[in-house]
Amino acid sequence: MKFYSSLLFIFFVAACTSQETVSDVASQKTTYIQGECYDSSRYSLTESFDEFIDERQQELKTLQPELSAENYEQLNYALRHFSTYWSQLRHERDLACEEHATCEFVRIKNHDIQLYEQDYCDGADFEYSVSRAKMINFFNDIERLQLQTSAP
């Protein structure tokens, strides 16, 4: 009976120890993802976009007396739609970045296992690159837009 109690105790300690290890790895993964995808010291395209949209909204307010109510609402709606679409693109980019960072984290943690010698992160890398390219293209297209008045 003592043998079984000792064995059960050893199993319990081993289970708790491995649980702490899993918790540590999960914490490391979360930290890695935060550093790769949400590091605030990196240049923020979102901040530039928000500033650009704010400037366009100020321009629209300035032009409001010269616009019909319908035209003003259409332009205001378009600016809001641009912001909504930007949020969608940013969310898509964040998810792709997290998937990419997770794959890279697993690859780094398992660098000695032959399974990860080949690059299994190609799909995640591609999705992340595409999501970033979509944001940059959209931002470039939006940046070219200007509110203009036509002289009578």
Residue 33 structure tokens:
């993802």
3-state SS assignment for residue 152: coil
Q: What DSSP assignment string belongs to 20-52?
A: HHHHHHHHHHHHHHHHHH--TTS--HHHHHHHH
The DSSP call for residue 121 is T
> What distance in Å separates the CA atoms of residue 81 and residue 87, rounded to the nearest whole number?
10
| Helix, strand, coil abundance in the chain, percent, nearest 5 | 80, 0, 20
> What distance in Å separates the CA atoms of residue 84 and residue 125, rounded to the nearest whole number?
25
Residues near 60 by beta carbon (within 8 Å), at least 6 away in sequence: 72, 75, 76, 79, 147
Question: pLDDT by residue (tens digit) across 134-152?
Answer: 998 998 888 777 655 555 5
The domains of the chain are located at 68-145
Question: pLDDT by residue (tens digit) across 89-140?
Answer: 999 999 999 999 998 888 888 776 655 555 678 888 899 999 999 998 998 8
**pTM, two decimal places:** 0.70
